[in-house]
């Protein structure tokens, strides 16, 4: 530790003789997580058994400020314990750059940021960090921000290539070719309102092998209303445009109402609708809503049966849920049952229409603030699936489908310097 501080101070001394008002923070995160997966993400197939593993995120972040300039660099490694032999000479995943951006504040209100950065807005349903995933999510982008007294405007975009090419080359990375967005937020006394517009373009080759880019638009408002002990939010998003030469027409809406009964106990009700498509609908129109870059683990149950890398271009989802939260000293407890239904027809190849009820999931989680910079979290979830869910997921609903996890997050600030 002393050597690291000495090296950093020497570097700063060499490059900052004439600079003023400098700050540097160096933060470390070590986050191992054990998981028992016995029907996680999908119903356990007949005759198969669940599994367990430990994954880990290791991050090192540098935050630097100097007058109007801010710079951040975050390096990370994600791994599964045992994915390389103990005497390995190379890590399986290596070191990745999670964040690498520079921000310049032109005035007190206007700023611009360039580089790999997190795009996270509102409840992160459309644009989020996806922090539950050990790798999380960031974008190579340019953004401009206006920060007023009670309002904020962000807009920006990205243009992607898989290498420094000299000729037109197909973009083979599983991501957008180009993206633009704008987000406006306004704060009132007890009401906050936002509007997001996201334009994503995905490249594809047509029948003549010509490379084309079709753009899909996702847009809509997000509202929060917090008078007294009441805490509620509402959102409505539409999707239109085209995707690989197919028309898009989809939508999503949700609402939560929570009430703080005491300082320790909070309860709420919520409902979300994501449009889908009948299984016997022969239309080429994409009617199933896609949350795109949302932090989807936070929605529709912790077992990730829906929209966490799955359930896209499907029958959609209706999710009615209850949230109960209790806090006592260093402990926080949460219980949330979900009831899932399909808003569109689930029809078998024999033209048999199945019941719309998909199943019920019960999530329990707890957090313990062990001490400064050390937090323990864990949980247990169980899915009570139906024959309809069996048909969609191709698994066994009669099997006990459950999931348990335990995570330790260690987040120390290992160096802080200010001049």
DSSP codes, 6-73: HHHHHHHHHH-SS--SEEEEEEEEEEEEEEEEESSSSPPPTT---EEEEEEEEEEEEEEEETTEEEEE
At a CB cut-off of 8 Å and minimum separation 6, what does 309 contact? 41
In angstroms, the Cα distances linking 320 to 234, 360, 383 are 14, 10, 15
In a domain, 162, yes or no: yes
Cα separation of 292 and 271, whole Å?
Answer: 20
Q: What is the CATH number of the domain that holds 85?
A: 2.40.160.100
Average pLDDT value for the chain: 94
Q: Which residue has the higher pLDDT, 11 or 101?
A: 101
In angstroms, the Cα distances linking 93 to 52, 57, 81, 140, 173 are 20, 11, 12, 20, 17
Categorize the per-residue pLDDT at 2 as very low, low, confident or very high, splitting at 50, 70 and 90: low
332-390 per-position pLDDT tens digit: 999 999 999 999 999 999 999 999 999 999 999 999 999 999 999 999 999 999 999 99
Look up the pTM and report it: 0.91
pLDDT over 70, % of the chain: 95
Cα separation of 167 and 170, whole Å?
Answer: 10
Choose among 236, 241, 164: nearest CA to 199: 241
In a domain, 17, yes or no: no
CB 277 within 8 A of CB 316: yes
SS3 390: helix
287-346 per-position pLDDT tens digit: 999 999 999 999 999 999 999 999 999 999 999 999 999 999 999 999 999 999 999 999
In a domain, 214, yes or no: yes
Categorize the per-residue pLDDT at 8 as very low, low, confident or very high, splitting at 50, 70 and 90: low
Q: To which H or E segment does residue 387 belong?
A: helix 387-393
Cα separation of 94 and 344, whole Å?
Answer: 43
In a domain, 286, yes or no: yes
- The pLDDT score that the predictor gives to residue 9 is 55
Owning domain of residue 61:
22-418
SS3 208: coil
The whole-number average pLDDT for the span 132-142 is 97
In a domain, 9, yes or no: no
69-115 per-position pLDDT tens digit: 999 999 999 999 999 999 888 888 899 999 999 999 999 999 999 99
In a domain, 106, yes or no: yes
In a domain, 330, yes or no: yes
- The number of distinct structural domains making up the chain is 1
In a domain, 12, yes or no: no
């Amino acid at each position: 530790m002393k050597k690291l501080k000495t090296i950093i101070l020497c570097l700063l001394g060499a490059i900052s003789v004439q600079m003023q008002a400098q700050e540097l923070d160096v933060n470390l995160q070590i986050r191992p997580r054990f998981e028992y997966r016995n029907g996680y993400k999908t119903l356990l197939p007949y005759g198969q058994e669940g599994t367990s593993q430990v994954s880990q995120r290791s991050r090192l972040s540098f935050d630097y400020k100097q007058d109007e300039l801010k710079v951040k660099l975050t390096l990370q490694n994600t791994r599964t314990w045992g994915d390389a032999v103990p005497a390995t000479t190379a890590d399986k995943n290596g070191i990745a750059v999670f964040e690498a951006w520079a921000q310049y504040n032109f005035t007190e209100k206007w700023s611009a940021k360039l580089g790999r950065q997190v795009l996270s807005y509102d409840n992160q349903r459309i644009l989020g960090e996806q922090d539950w995933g050990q790798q999380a999510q960031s974008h190579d982008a340019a953004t401009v921000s206006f920060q007023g007294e009670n309002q904020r405007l962000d807009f920006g975009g990205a243009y992607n290539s898989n290498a420094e090419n000299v000729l037109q080359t197909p973009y083979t990375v599983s991501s957008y070719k180009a993206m633009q967005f704008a987000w406006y937020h306004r704060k009132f006394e007890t009401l906050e309102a936002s509007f997001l517009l996201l334009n994503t373009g995905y490249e594809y080759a047509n029948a003549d092998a010509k490379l084309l880019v079709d753009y899909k638009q996702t847009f809509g408002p997000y509202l929060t209303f917090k008078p007294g002990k009441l805490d509620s939010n509402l959102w409505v998003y539409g999707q239109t445009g085209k995707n690989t030469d197919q028309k898009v027409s989809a939508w999503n809406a949700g609402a939560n109402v929570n009430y703080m009964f005491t300082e320790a106990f909070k309860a709420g009700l919520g409902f979300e609708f994501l449009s889908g498509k009948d299984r016997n609908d022969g239309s080429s129109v994409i009617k199933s809503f896609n949350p795109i870059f949302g932090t989807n683990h936070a929605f529709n149950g912790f077992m990730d049966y829906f929209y966490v890398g799955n359930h896209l271009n499907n029958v959609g989802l209706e999710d009615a849920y209850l949230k109960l939260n209790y806090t006592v000293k260093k402990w926080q407890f949460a219980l949330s049952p979900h009831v899932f239904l399909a808003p569109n027809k689930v029809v078998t190849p024999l033209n048999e229409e199945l019941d719309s009820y998909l199943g019920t999931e019960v999530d329990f989680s707890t957090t313990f603030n062990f001490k400064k910079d050390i937090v323990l979290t864990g949980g247990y979830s169980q899915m009570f699936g139906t024959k309809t869910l069996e048909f969609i997921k191709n698994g066994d609903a009669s099997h006990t489908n459950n999931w348990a996890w335990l995570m330790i997050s260690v987040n120390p600030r290992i160096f802080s310097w200010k001049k």
